[in-house]
Amino acid sequence: MEKYKKIIFATLTIAMMVVVVWGCNKGFLDKKPIGQYTIETYFTDEAKAFQAVVGVYDVSGWDKTFDRMFWTLGDGASDDSNFGMNRDDGSPPYVDINPITDYANVAEAKFSPAFENMYKGFYEGINRANVAINGIETAPISDQKKARFIAECKALRAIYYFMLVNYYGGIPLFTKPINPGNADDVNMPRATARQVYDQIEKDLTEAIPALPTKQATIDEKMVGRVTKGAAGALLAKVFLFDKKYTEAAAAAQVVMSSGEYNLNPDYYANFVQATANGIESVWEIQRVENFTDNGGGWGPDSFDGTLTPIRVGCGNGMWGQNAPSGDLYSQFQPGDGRRKYTATTTDDVISGVTMCGNAGAPGMGKHVVPGKEISDYKRYDIIPLNWPLFRFSDVLLMRSEALMSEASVGAAAKDEAIDLLLRVRNRAGLTLPSKTDYQSYNNDELLRNIRNERRLELGMEAWRLLDLRRWGVDSLKNALIRVGKINTTTRPWEDHYMLYPIPQSEIELSKGIVKQTPGY
């Protein structure tokens, strides 16, 4: 893993050159740049091809993709957290984001610099993937390496599109490098959500056969690169969101049958850097301390460390943002070993450190470094702590939910769904309800319990908002009413809150070809 991380920072500047060329005007593209590469001349060997792939990975570590904006929306705009950002202090780009995440003024997302950055950030990852795929297809490298590199780019493109389609619905769909001299390339209208999902599923289905196993990445000391299991878990999630329940259950089963993953007996070990990428880890966003000036050539947002640990912790200088809600705390039954790591109180001790919070206003246990403060780090914004994107427990619960979501559920499927649910709950130290109890539940009751288990197992891991959205209007609306983010007077519910508006700057840049989401 360390070898891989060092390669990342050594190659960012070169990889960026490939993408920069596409961002210039057509006149510049017609010329041979001095000291830079064109797409045609860059992909001349395996090293350069790999550098381009690294550039696609780099986007996943950005503040505006799978760092702050991920949990600000995934937790902060749901019932799991009372707020996402404590940055209504004029600090760009997060000024005025709280009225969006607490539903006081969701329409403001049209003009929010933070939302604009997120939208552009995921598209930057998509464009880098398109550039890399296009160049690698004709690069003079081995067929095996070519297949793997392209598969990695397709899997990364898939997760970037997956986030966009779930935040915005139908969006412009690019699968080739953008030529800024071609108006049709630049001003692409919104595809339908169906078309975007079809592309995501196609990318993942094509990618998985050429991807390595997790063990192979361990052997080559490159843990963190996309594996068959990682892409398979994403495919299961995509099918689940797309309501293709038979396919979702099958995709989850493939990951489960690989033999590479299991539940870690120690739940908290999934959130400690010393035990990162363990047996339960399916896909983690890798974090290291990188002090390279200007993000290694990618820009100031490209440090691979995270801001999360100290900004949600307790103590001097802590900002307390994205703190868990009292509603989340109340969902844990006595004896649930996950609660103290998800929603803490002053009675909790983690790694020898007394935590903060109370039942009504808990503190954070996950994604923090207990006992650490800003002054303990050279840079507060580049702290090494991985983000577990997909864990094996998520895969178990996805299959369990998919089995119970079919139009017709047989006795064997219900029995398996219960067993999968109990695997997750037993690890947490829970024995009740028992299997016999669950068997007495009707199918709808059991499905509600499985869905609620996702909240308990994956609490504060930034998937809550998207889960509530995919379960339907009533799921999100009722959850927000319960925590007071929506009410019948000052903050009434609007159905278009199920999606965010496209940034207004993108509407204007397309000269109206990209249409705004209805309701905004």
Sequence length of the chain is 520
HEC letters along 156-224: HHHHHHHHHHHHHCCCCCCCCCCCCCCHHHHCCCCCCHHHHHHHHHHHHHHHHHHCCCHHHHHHCCCEC
From CA 325, how far away is CA 395, in angstroms rounded? 25
Alpha-carbon torsion (302, 146, 387, 214), positive or negative: negative
Question: Quick one: CA torsion of 348, 351, 356, 359, rounded to 10 degrees?
Answer: -30
Asked if the structure places residue 75 within a domain, the reply is yes
Cβ(39)–Cβ(131) below 8 Å: yes
From CA 307, how far away is CA 384, in angstroms rounded? 9
At 454, give phi and psi (nearest 5°).
-60, -40
Asked if the structure places residue 185 within a domain, the reply is yes
Tokens 């974090």, located at residue? 287
Asked if the structure places residue 6 within a domain, the reply is no
Asked if the structure places residue 408 within a domain, the reply is yes
Tokens 């993942």, located at residue? 204
Q: pLDDT by residue for the chain (520 residues), tens digit each? A: 444 333 333 333 334 434 433 333 333 223 333 346 777 789 999 999 999 999 999 999 898 999 889 999 999 999 999 875 554 444 667 777 888 999 999 999 999 999 999 999 999 999 999 999 999 999 999 999 999 999 999 999 999 999 999 999 999 999 999 887 787 777 899 999 999 999 999 999 999 999 999 999 999 999 999 999 999 999 999 999 999 999 999 999 999 999 999 999 999 999 999 999 999 999 999 887 665 543 333 333 333 456 555 555 555 445 557 889 999 999 999 999 999 999 999 999 999 999 989 999 999 899 888 887 777 777 766 788 899 999 999 999 999 999 999 999 999 999 999 999 999 999 999 999 999 999 999 999 999 999 999 999 999 999 999 999 999 999 999 999 999 999 999 999 999 999 999 999 999 999 999 999 999 9
What's 333's DSSP letter?
P
Asked if the structure places residue 520 within a domain, the reply is no
Asked if the structure places residue 299 within a domain, the reply is no
From CA 297, how far away is CA 410, in angstroms rounded? 56
Name the token pair of 363. Answer: 């503190």
Q: In Å, how far are 140, 274, 305 from 385, measured between CA atoms?
A: 37, 9, 7
Q: What is the pTM of this model?
A: 0.91
CA atoms within a 13 Å half-sphere pointing along the CA-CB vector of 494: 16
Asked if the structure places residue 316 within a domain, the reply is no
Q: Residue 421 maps to which CATH number?
A: 1.25.40.390
Count: domains in the chain:
1
Instruction: Cis check for the bond before 209: say yes or no (omega within 30 of 0).
Output: no
Tokens 């844990």, located at residue? 332
Domain that includes residue 214, residue range: 42-289+388-510
Asked if the structure places residue 55 within a domain, the reply is yes
